[in-house]
Amino acid sequence: MSRSTPYAVFSCDLDTVDRHLQGYGFDNLPPCDLIYRTAVPRLLELLDEIEAPGVVFVIARDAEPQRALLRQISAAGHEVASHSLTHPQPFRTLGDAELEREVVESRTRLSDASGTDVVGFRAPAWDIDDRVLKQVKRAGYHYDASVFPTPALISSRISAYRRSTGMHSIFAMDLFGHAFSPTRPYHWHNGAEGLTEFPIAVTRWLRFPVYHTLTYFVPRFLFQRALRRMLRSTMPVCYEFHAADLLDFGADGVDARFARHPGMRLPLREKLANLRAILSTIAGERRCVTYRQALSEGLAGA
């Protein structure tokens, strides 16, 4: 495909099981490396199969133990980006010193472990505001990928709360977030000048989320209709999913408390087939790049 072909970016958040459970109200759990041992190899195999690069957003707490894996990911042509240092939730309410550490130290650790200069950031649960973005810019990142420009973000926050153990922290997040922000990539002018935003994919007018977790909640035909609508447009398709989407609840020995997570009880074969079909459909009609590549080619404003 030519450089004039509209592009797509596949990004996978490598949230570990213990950090997902923290979001559901289970605190002080030891680090779990299950996704690195099982889900990430499946992810790399899938991306190789469809011949597309991907972006992995990594919790930098795990950078050193996963050094070899991160270097393998980079060597295969994929991009390593930051998903904060410890994935705390809610994120934007952190004190100044703690926020700085989450943003700065994560970039340092991941750059060292992966052998590449990490230039991208995504906040836990997309929980950002101007203060976070200014810190991201000061830390030396070139782009952020935390904006989910859809009113569906509100129902997502509430749904996460209802699946939780009664935690109250979900309401410390900005329920509206950037629900009505631009749907195409843009440049910030809020004190974070020079920082580019790559929003998660939504349709242009209705802002229907083209986001993988939604496939577990809506009829397949409805999701496919929204995807086709995006692919008929010139809008970039920044498609996000999670490493948990490549876990087998039974065979992988997943913590029983994680059964509440969307799609977790579905057979792995079914989940992989669905993810493969969606990514293949997008890759068949779009030029797939990483966020770093989109920046270097000047595609963010295209």
Give me the residue spans of the domains in the chain. 7-296
Number of H-type helices and E-type strands within the chain:
10, 9
Mean pLDDT of the chain: 93
Give the least confident one: 49-53, 87-91, 240-244.
Answer: 87-91
Query: Domain 7-296 belongs to what topology?
Result: TIM Barrel (3.20.20)
Residue range 211-221: mean pLDDT, rounded: 96
Per cent of the chain over pLDDT 90 is: 83
pLDDT for the residue 119: 98
Q: Which long-range contacts (CB under 8 A, 24 or more apart) does 160-169 make?
A: 160/23, 160/24, 160/125, 163/24, 163/260, 163/261, 164/23, 164/24, 164/25, 165/24, 165/25, 165/26, 166/25, 167/24, 167/25, 169/89, 169/90
Residue 85 burial by CB count (10 A; 0-12/13-18/19+): exposed, middle or buried? buried
Cis link prior to 90 (omega < 30° from 0)? yes
pLDDT at 5: 85
Mean pLDDT of 31-60: 98
Q: What is the pLDDT of residue 57?
A: 99
